[in-house]
Structure formats: C-alpha cells, structure tokens
Amino acid sequence: MTAVADRSLGPELARTESIGPDTDVLVVGLLSTDDGPVIAAADVFDAVLDAGTREQLLASLLAVGAKGKAEELTRIPAPDGLGATSVLAVGLGGRDALDAEQIRKSAGVAARSLAGTATAVTTLSGLDLGAAAEGFYLGAYTFTAFKSDKSAPKPAEQPLQRVEFLVPTADSGEDELFRAQAVAEAVATARDFVNTPPNALFPAEFAERAAELARAAGLDVEILDEKQLEAGGYGGIVGVGKGSSRPPRLIRITYSGGDTKVALIGKGITFDTGGISIKPAANMENMTSDMGGAAAVIATALVAARLGLPITVTATVPMAENMPSATAQRPGDVLTQYGGTTIEVINTDAEGRLILADAIVRAGEDNPDYLIDVATLTGAQMVALGTRTPGVMGTEEFRDRVARLSQEVGENGWPMPLPAELRADLNSKVADMANVSPHRWGGMLVAGTYLKEFVPEGVQWAHLDVAGPAYNTGGPFGYIGKGGTGVPVRTLVAVLTDIAGE
Ligand code: BES
Ligand code: MN
Ligand code: ZN
C-alpha cells in the first residue's frame, strides 16, 4: 500500500461563467427573511440565472415548503432552460448571522447530500468563493482506503466528483480558489492520516509517509530512529515508545520561506492503549486518533510551502505507540527529557506530554519566534469545553491571537488559563517533576502547565488541546464527517498567514 494510494482526494474544483451542458445539479443558497426565503447572491449571476428564472425557481421552492433555515435542503427539478437537471437549495439562515462559516457548513451539507452526483454548479461563490469551495471539498471528503470490493461505495454512494463555482468574469476568483483548495487539501491530508488505522500507521510508517509528502513538496526532512533518539537523549519519546514492538521516531520537516521562524509541534501517538496504566476497553479504538496533532502540523507545514508564505516553518513531530508489555515503562520509572529535566512517570497514560516535552525542547534550539504545539492531550479538554471546542493555552497575547483566529475560521478555539498554583501539583519526591498531578481537577490546564516548563523564555507560545475536536465519533455535521476532522489545520494556516502579514 503506498502513501499516495491511501490519500483521499475530494472533488475537482473549478470556476465557471456559465452552467455547462453536463451539469447535474445547480446548488443555490436560500436566505430566510421575515418575508420568506430569498435566493442569495443570485443577481450576481444575472446572465446565467435571469430574473424570470429566479422567480420561477423561488415559486417552486416555496411550493414545496422551503424556508431557508440554516442547512435545510430542498431538491427540485430545474426550471426549463436552466441547463442543470435539478436544483438543490441549501438554507443559509438569516442574513444577520450569515458569515463564512455558515457558508462553509451549508456547502458541506449540500456536498454530503450530493453523493452519486458527477457535476454540481453553484452560486454560493457569489457570497464567498473561498468558504464555499472549502465547504464543498470537505463535505464531499470520504475515506475508503480500507473498504474492499465487498463494501466499496456503489455508484449512487460515490462522493460528489466535481464542483464548478460561478464567477462573474473569467479572471475573477482564481487566487481565492487556489488558496481554498490548498487549505482544504491540507485538511484532507490530516484527516487521511488520522483515519488510517493504527496497524497500518505506526511510527516508522507515519514518518515515512510524511517524509514522502514533504520531499515531494521540496521541503527538508530529518528523521531520527530509535537508536538516534536513545543516543540523543530523547528520554520521553524513548520511554513512551519502549513498550511497543514498533519503535518511535522524531521527524522534522522544514519549509524555509523567510526570516520569521515558527515552530510547530504535534503529538504523534499512533495508538494510545495507556501503556501499563491501561485504558478501559470501551472506546479504546478511538485512540487511533491520538496522532491528530501530528497530522495537523505536518499538513500545515506542507500547505505553508504550497501557499509560499514568507516565513520559515519547522514541524517537529514525535511519534510513538503507547503499549503495555514486558518492555514498557512502569509507573514509578524516572526518565530524562531531552534537555535534562528528570520526570517521575506516575501514570503511563499521560504519555503525550512526555513525547511533546522532548520535541518542544528540540524545537526551541532553533530559536523560533513562535512555538505552537497541538495535541489530543487530555480527556479533561472534553470535560471542560465539549467535543468541538479546542482549548488554547500559552503566553497570553499569542494565546488570545490564536484563539481569535481559530474562531474566525470556524474551528472555535477558546482561550484557557494556566493558573500558576498548578505547577506545585507536579512536584515529585524523586525527580524534577511528575507527569501527573495527584488530583483530577483542571486536567487540561495541568497538562499545559507541564508543557510550559519546556518552552523557552521569551517565545510566543500557544498550546492547543484538540482531544475532542480532532476526531468526530458522532454523526456527520456541516462539512465534517465521521472520523478525523483535520482540526486545527485551518487555525494553524490562519495563524501562519497572520504572522506572515498577509
Ligand atoms: N490521548 C489521551 C487523551 C484523550 C482522551 C484524547 C480521550 C482523546 C480522547 C491522553 O494520552 C490521556 O490518556 N490523557 C489522560 C491524562 C491523565 C492520565 C492525567 C486522560 O485524559 O485521562
Ligand atoms: Mn494517554
Ligand atoms: Zn494519548
């Protein structure tokens, strides 16, 4: 199985000035107003959807009860002469609440409902081409690499193949579509990694696949194997990885685009059993997603290059499998993190912070201006914020900037504190620090407090805990299906773009 064969690509995206003869569906947005639904932005495309056709269309939609409520779907035969076979109206809700994220969600819902369709044309581009393109691409994403012929999608279940975005003139929207496609593909890359099962994606394989993508994009790649990690003093990564027959790795991917340096670090636990502090069996399969942070930062380094951002981005990604075995680390073991800090491992299930601390210290040696780490780090993140809201911690100003940008792109990161008093809870009798606190309160913040010890002074730092948001165990919603979500790739791209001053 090659890395390329395992990659899912979403639909083809293109711009168009007309509704071509091969169009199966025209997707329009429907706003809800006090006077009933109205077709959004349709007048932008007067040439392809004239006033008479719009009137006819709206009358048909009204006749079948369309209201324009957010994400409502109404499918009707196309009015005569339109070119498409049918029309899908997707609700956008009220005008006041209409933002890019609503357009993304509505486009995603439309895309999901169009399985079995070859070509859709949409007017949603008249509202926000970039958001519409992201929504369609991500909504149509499916991961079928492990379906045999016995259960491969039938033609009527195949994801939407092609989406054409109406634009007013041939030269409009090119840059917007390029960027949206690059970002959406980065999200899909992260999703693919997360969705690949843990027997297929173990540390060496994960590093190799990431390296392949990075080399193909012309980026610098460095991989440390278990011997080099041991010799280099990466005690956290070695300690966590030593219970597995599949040894750990540290991969570093660098895109050099400018003087400002951003370090990205992502938790790459390819499977988290908990180790000797083993987890209960129920839902343990979800721990295939414990490399969601790694997947996100790798995909982000790749897209930074694709977008040509004028900054330097280094992704430093520790990868290990947390297994219980005769060679596994024990509760009570003392390990030495990269850089010399000794740690009493009280709970082998608090493994993320152990591999991240090594990687943060290593990344700090490059003297980055900004350091962002991303991890499916604590169940406490979900207790505090639920399954869809990343917790953002770090140095205050940068934390708030990252959270604001995350909200702007619809990933909704929320700022959280690192109360100073939590540090004392990590004191250890035998080592410099323990890896867990002796109580259950504020677990997300305790983990952030642990990481803070390893972040160099003066660096602008953000820590994103995406334990819930990286992996959707519920039903599909908006442009997000079951499984890997790709969160927080779009936050990271927004932050890098902001830092780059673009
Ligand atoms: N990978 C888990 C966190 C997690 C839990 C992610 C659920 C996604 C869904 C992490 O390694 C872990 O086990 N954390 C422990 C920490 C505890 C031992 C201090 C937890 O949250 O229980
Ligand atoms: Mn764990
Ligand atoms: Zn974990």
Q: Which ligand 1 atom is nearest residue 272's CA?
A: 1
Cα 229 to ligand 1 centroid, rounded to whole Å? 24
Contact assessment for residue 399 and residue 370, using Cβ atoms and an 8 Å cutoff:
no
Nearest to 215 by CA among 261, 257, 252: 252
Cα 196 to ligand 1 centroid, rounded to whole Å? 20
CA distances in angstroms from 448 to 139, 172, 233, 444, listed in the order given: 32, 45, 23, 6
Report the distance separating Cα 234 and Cα 228, nearest Å: 9
- What's the N-to-C CA distance of the chain in angstroms? 39
Q: Beta strand pairing status for 261-266 and 370-375? A: parallel
Ligand closest to CA 443: 1
Residue 276 tokens, joined? 């000797």
pLDDT at position 147, please? 93
Residues around ion ligand 2, judged by CB within 5 A, are: 272, 349, 351
Crossing angle between the packed helical segments 174-195 and 125-140, to the nearest 10 degrees: 20
Distance of CA 324 to the CA centre of its chain: 29
The structure tokens 């008093």 sit at: 421
Cα 228 to ligand 1 centroid, rounded to whole Å? 28
Is it the case that residue 4 has pLDDT exceeding 50? no
pLDDT at position 81, please? 87
pLDDT grade, residue 5 (50/70/90)?
A: very low
Ligand closest to CA 387: 1
* Per-residue pLDDT tens digits for 7-19: 677 899 999 999 9
Report the distance separating Cα 439 and Cα 441, nearest Å: 6
405, burial (CB in 10 Å: exposed 0-12, middle 13-18, buried 19+): buried
SS3 252: strand
Q: Measured from the CB, is residue 378 less than 6 Å from ligand 1? A: yes
Q: What is the mean pLDDT of residues 406-432?
A: 98
Q: Measured from the CB, is residue 349 less than 6 Å from ligand 1? A: yes
Is it the case that residue 223 has pLDDT exceeding 60? yes
Q: What are phi and psi of 416, to 5 degrees?
A: -130, 150
A 10 A CB-CB count for 453 gives 17
Q: Measured from the CB, is residue 376 less than 6 Å from ligand 1? A: yes
Q: What is the mean pLDDT of residues 400-427?
A: 98
Cα 436 to ligand 1 centroid, rounded to whole Å? 11
DSSP sequence for 434-447: ESS-SS-TTHHHHH
At residue 213, what is the residue type?
A: L
Edge-to-edge strand list for the sheet holding 433-434? 334-336, 342-344, 433-434
β-pair partners for 220: 254
Q: What are phi and psi of 419, to 5 degrees?
A: -60, 130
Q: Measured from the CB, is residue 456 less than 6 Å from ligand 1? A: no
Residues tagged active-site:
279, 353
SS3 58: helix
- In this structure, what DSSP letter does residue 477 have? B
Q: Which ligand 1 atom is nearest residue 437's CA?
A: 19
Q: What is the mean pLDDT of residues 426-452?
A: 98
A 10 A CB-CB count for 439 gives 9
Work out the widest C-alpha separation in the chain, in whole angstroms: 80
DSSP sequence for 352-387: HHHHHHHHHHHHHTT--SEEEEEE---HHHHHHH-S
The structure tokens 């991890």 sit at: 375
Is it the case that residue 107 has pLDDT exceeding 50? yes
Residue 336 tokens, joined? 């030495």
pTM over 0.85: yes
At residue 101, what is the residue type?
A: E
pLDDT at position 2, please? 35
Is it the case that residue 6 has pLDDT exceeding 80? no
* Per-residue pLDDT tens digits for 263-320: 999 999 999 999 999 999 999 999 999 999 999 999 999 999 999 999 999 999 999 9
Crossing angle between the packed helical segments 174-195 and 203-216, to the nearest 10 degrees: 160
Instruction: Answer positive or negative: Cα dihedral of 134, 12, 476, 307.
Output: negative
SS3 388: coil
pLDDT at position 7, please? 62
At residue 211, what is the residue type?
A: A
